[in-house]
Each structure stands twice: as C-alpha cells, then as structure tokens.
Amino acid sequence: MRLSNEDHMQISDLAEKLGITTRTIRLYEKMELVDPPRRTDGRVRYYEKADVKRFKFVLKLKELGLSLEEMKGLADIYYREQQVPSKIMPRLIELLETHLKNIREKVSTLQSLEKDIAAYQQRIIDEYDLASAPASGAEQAGDAAAKTTAGKAKPAAAAKPPRKAPAKKTATKA
C-alpha cells in the first residue's frame, strides 16, 4: 500500500519530486539538515508538506554553493532560534557574502590565467610561424592586437620555410 497522496509521500516519491536520490535524502537526515521523517507503525518513512519545503530550502543552499558544513550551521541556527527566519537570515547573508567574495577571487584568477595562456599561445604561434594554427579566443573575438604587429598585418607563413622540431631522444633499456 502506497502512502503518497497530497499530504504525505514516501521517500521514493519525495526523491522523484525533488530530483534527488533517496540516498541524498538519508544523508541530509543523518546530518540533521532536515527533521527526521515520521514513520508508520511498519517503520515506513513518510514526509509532509513542511518536510518538502525544508528539503527545497536545503537544496537551494546547495545550489548557491554552500558546503554541507555551512548548511549544517544554518540548520543549527534555525532549530536553536526556534525556526525564526529573522534570526537565520543574517547568518545566511554572511555566508553568501563570503561565497561571493570567493567566487570573485576565482573569476579574477581565471581571467589572469586566460591572459597568460593566450599570450603564451601567441608566442608559440609567432616562434614557430604557425599562422595557420586555429585562432585563439582573443582572435575569434576580433582582437586586432593579436592579429597585427605594430599596426601591420603579419607576414604569411608561406614566406618562411617551417622549422623542424628537435628530434626526440628515446631511452634504451639495457
């Protein structure tokens, strides 16, 4: 007999509704991110609308990039403050600010890395006269500086004979 209806649902139905696995539901319960489920006399788990709302909140925190430990901290505040949103929201804002700061730092690092890689790629193209190499992201975006040298178009690769790559040394086993 299935328990699932408008007011109650079993773990498999909850998992399907939320797009997560039953294993994830059990993990969140074990970590006390959500209340333990109610059970029938036969020990079958069932969830109510309030449980669904709580799982959705936890999944939103996860989507925002908070770690399980940070989510656990918020859950603790939530229960300690008797589920008063005005008490939990300042901590959530603080966690989100920290997360945004970390994201901005990563974006900055990635942008710097992108510039370094593009410059290195261009040096290789120039060094080995590889004008026919696939265009870099900068060239595809129309970066005129990457296409010209001192305002003049680069000479075609056919003007110089291609360089030979140095021969690879192979190790021999004795």
- Provide block-wise average pLDDT over 10 residues at a time, the chain (174 residues): 72 95 95 90 90 89 86 78 73 85 94 97 92 60 44 45 54 52
Q: What is the pLDDT of residue 26?
A: 95
Buried b (16+ CB within 10 A) or exposed e, 132-151: eeeebebbeeeeeebeeeee
Q: What is the pLDDT of residue 157?
A: 45
Q: Which of 126, 135, 112, 134 is nearest to 157 (CA)?
A: 126
Cα gap 26→61, rounded to integer Å: 17
Q: What is the pLDDT of residue 153?
A: 43
Q: Give the architecture (CATH level 2) of 1-66.
A: Orthogonal Bundle (1.10)
Is the CB of residue 47 less than 8 Å from the CB of residue 14?
yes
Q: What is the pLDDT of residue 149?
A: 41
Q: What is the pLDDT of residue 155?
A: 45
Q: Answer yes or no: pTM beyond 0.75.
A: no
Tens of pLDDT, residue by residue over 156-173, are 444 445 555 555 555 555
